[in-house]
Amino acid sequence: MRVGTDTGGTFTDVVGADGAVAKVPSTPDDPGRAVAEGLAALSGGAGPATTLAHGTTVATNALLERRGATVALVTTEGFEDVIEIARQDRPSLYDLRADRPAPLVPRSLRFGVRERLDASGRVLVPLDPASVDAVVAALPREVEAVAVCLLHADLAADHEQAVAEILAAAGLEVSRSSALCPERREYERTSTVVLDAYLRPACRAYLQRLGGLAREVLVLSSAGGLLPVAVAAEQPARLLLSGPAGGAAAAAAVAAANGFPDAVSFDMGGTSTDVALVLGGRPEPAAEREVAGFPVRLPSLAVHTVGAGGGSIAAIDAGGALVVGPRSAGAVPGPACYGRGGTLPTVTDADLVLGRIPAGATFPGLGRLDVAAARAALAAAGVDAAGVVAVVNASMEQAIRRVSVEQGVDPRGLALVAFGGAGPLHACDLADALGMPAVIVPARAGVLSAVGVLAAPRTADRVHSWQGGTDADLARAVAGVAEAAVGDIRAGADGPGAVGGGAAGGGAVRVDRWVDCRYLGQSHELRVPWGPGWRDDFHALHRRVNGFARPGDEVEVVAVRAAASVASPVGVLDLPAPARPTGVGPVVLAEDDCTIWVPAGWRAERGEAGALVLRRGGTA
């Protein structure tokens, strides 16, 4: 049987191809243990799954908690400080105390080698192998991995590959930028390859332990596609938004089935909330994301995360204001109402006290929730339950505005797809605040990210910087990256972006092509689909995002990219639809994996694919 899993900060969710669901508390000390427990609960001891499709937060958590490897950086001589100089901008313009996170590689572990390419990829200074040997001799014993990022290696990788081979021959673990992210922007490329090297030890050990849980183990990338576990272990930077990507893709499918191809996915779990814009039935992509203050120059879905979840802790700050999150009670000890030793008030405690979660409710693996403990925790902290909900809602409203209004899209034309264990408790409040016409609560909303992982396609992506040329040259370059991506899918090679599994399971291969482009002289670019009207699409997108367009100006392409994919044998809409309660607010609709709060003035009706569609107009 094919099984999808999603490891969150509070719960680990498991969904089978037959629609069966298991939800168990996460095990932060060893996330794989919770996956094994969930699989056992799902199968009843019937044996290992045939295919395990897995979404993970291990890479993200290792970065947030700074639990990665000791990393050295090898770069072009004279560019050792690019990783620290960055873009010379301020992380918060008016906050004098705000600063960037400390570099993952200290100055003492940054080494330059003698070589140089120009901005077109031509050799100015040949590589001096002796300078690489000197780096090997100078590396301290504590170095666990080496990141290699040479100037302009996105255009010509020969020097970088030679450096990596010398380092690997010395027994060193090596991440190479031209194999991971061959795109321009030296700082972002350096940051990405350093992150990859930094995450390898923690992610590799964890992912290798998953190998015995199924005959085939696939891991979800930040772009929403599945990679074989061996590839994921070699390129862990691809996993930094793994779990949220599955939920966004599943939400898009359910929204489109219910007549809303344009929507916002809203995933509120125990530790954080993830939101993403969906247009035309597909989540918006991003060529680069920032995680824990570090840019990651790899394909991903444009998911925005805030530290607001059911386990977010409420407190009064030094100025006397009520704050909620980003600190979380997590799975251990969890909210006070869990009865596992937690004493600090959380959003879940507030929801329980307000009656949004019914008294006597039970959560998976926890038993009956303790209302008295929730009240006591709120009182001890001097916080009001309604105030806690108002503050956390304000944080999530801002996140939704970030992916809609700030992208030139009016939320009043979008549905809000609410999922995660806590999302349906807060969705109507947010839809009211933003004027959104409907809330969609998918079937199995509490485990929808795991459903999305289960239904995710196998993928392979390729990207390469573009130096300019004729339209015919550009068309050949796009065709080249597309052919390479298809080759990765069909061959199942263990190379960059490869997916394994022979000819990708024998399914039809879909190929998407894009160009990253900008007006001549701009320093930022936008991604548009490749086709005869790509320039017109760029002007329209630029107007939407930036508020203006200059159709008469020259448009330059800076990168060409393609993604090949093969659909999962199980689609989001293929799972059997469960029977679900409906009602007119105010009413609580309790389900096995989530609780839905329908406030006064709203009604919940059955929609397509087992979804509940909540709209205004209900009267009790």
Distance separating alpha carbons of residues 168 and 149, to the nearest angstrom: 15
**Contact between 439 and 559 (Cβ < 8 Å):** no
Distance separating alpha carbons of residues 3 and 51, to the nearest angstrom: 6
Per DSSP, which regions of 454-502 are E strands?
458-465
As a whole number, mean pLDDT of residues 348-357 equals 95
Q: pLDDT-derived band of residue 65, with 50, 70 and 90 as boundaries? A: confident
Measured N-to-C along each axis, helices 186-210 and 31-43 cross at an angle, to the nearest 10 degrees, of: 50
Distance separating alpha carbons of residues 233 and 237, to the nearest angstrom: 9
Q: What percent of the chain has pLDDT over 70?
A: 96
Supply the pLDDT for residue 116.
96
Tell me which residue of 359, 391, 392, 361 sits closest to 375, measured CA to CA: 359
**Contact between 247 and 585 (Cβ < 8 Å):** no
Tell me which residue of 12, 10, 9, 14 sits closest to 51, measured CA to CA: 14
First to last CA, the chain: 44
Assigned token pair, 422: 């806590």
**Tens-digit pLDDT profile for residues 115-139:** 999 998 999 999 999 999 999 999 9
**Contact between 43 and 49 (Cβ < 8 Å):** yes
Distance separating alpha carbons of residues 558 and 534, to the nearest angstrom: 14
Average pLDDT, the chain: 90
**Tens-digit pLDDT profile for residues 193-239:** 999 999 998 888 888 888 888 889 999 999 999 998 888 999 999 99
Tell me which residue of 12, 513, 6, 40 sits closest to 220, measured CA to CA: 6
Q: Is the pLDDT of residue 439 over 80?
A: yes
Within 13 Å of residue 285, how many CA atoms lie on the same side as its CB?
22
Tell me which residue of 205, 195, 206, 201 sits closest to 27, measured CA to CA: 206
Q: How many residues does the chain have?
A: 620
Q: Is the pLDDT of residue 494 over 80?
A: no
Sign of CA dihedral 451, 457, 460, 466: negative
Strand order in the sheet with 174-176: 110-113, 71-76, 145-149, 174-176
Supply the pLDDT for residue 204.
87
Assigned token pair, 246: 């599955």
| 190 against 329, higher pLDDT | 190
**Tens-digit pLDDT profile for residues 460-475:** 999 999 988 999 999 9
Q: pLDDT-derived band of residue 365, with 50, 70 and 90 as boundaries? A: low
What single string gives the DSSP state of each residue in 359-404?
TT-EETTTEE--HHHHHHHHHHHT--HHHHHHHHHHHHHHHHHHHT
